[in-house]
Amino acid sequence: MTPIDANSPLDIIFVPAQTGTPIGTIVVLHGWGANHDDLGELVPYFKLPEYQFLFPNAPFDHEYSDTGKMWYSFTGAAQLSDRSVTQLATSREILTTWIESLPDSTGIPLDRTWIAGFSQGGAMTLEIGLDLPVAGLIVLSGYLHQNRAKPPQAAPLVLLVHGRQDDVVPIAAAHKSRQILTQWGVDVRYQEFDMGHSIVPEVLDTVRSFVTN
């Protein structure tokens, strides 16, 4: 895996397509307290050799980890403090600007770019991706921010995947996200698995099918 700049203040890992010229880009956002290496190890298991992957580090250092990063801090039971809201706004601006610049740096248009995220990264996927003309959004064990504004009518297709035994982001959060997105007119594909707050092989199969079909 190769770090690249890509005209961004974010620290980014780039994994090129294994087949040469890529047919698409997949941006993957890590969860709270992890970093861009965490999900980068899954690239071979996605079995998407014709796609290039980009793994950005969140801009904020995690409070309780020397190596972890976060898109914003939590207070109490996943509540957002004034500091959290400010950090969320910063992450949203940085990510949006960077993703909008990707066609110039990668040569792949946004309509061939997918945004994926796990946990807090899944929340950020919905936060920024619903307003972008990307190919699709992949939310793994994530959630929709409570104050998220209704997206435009042209919001991209969304895949929500969640574990029934998730004790970090309860399954009820996924049900609520699906309900709200559907009410907004977003095309949502939803899948539950017998798993906790994790990514099992069946999840990767679901993601691969979503991207390629």
HSE-up (13 A, CA, CB side) for residue 59: 17
- Does the reported pTM lie above 0.75? yes
Whichever domain contains 95, its CATH number is: 3.40.50.1820
Alpha-carbon span 128 to 96, nearest angstrom: 6
Question: By the 8 A CB rule, do 117 and 140 touch?
Answer: yes
Helices 82-106 and 120-129 pack at an angle, to 10 degrees, of: 70
Distance spanning both ends of the chain, measured CA to CA: 27
In whole angstroms, give the CA distance from residue 116 to residue 113: 10
pLDDT for position 147: 85
Question: Domain of 173?
Answer: 2-212
Which range has highest mean pLDDT (18-22, 73-77, 131-135)? 131-135
How far is the C-alpha of 210 from the C-alpha of 208, rounded, in Å? Answer: 5
Here the tokens at position 118 are 């796990």
- pLDDT tens, position by position, 100-138: 999 998 899 999 999 999 999 999 999 999 999 999 999
Rounded-to-5 percentages of helix, strand, coil across the chain: 35, 25, 45
Give the whole-angstrom CA distance, residue 28 versus residue 73. 19
Number of compact structural domains in the chain: 1
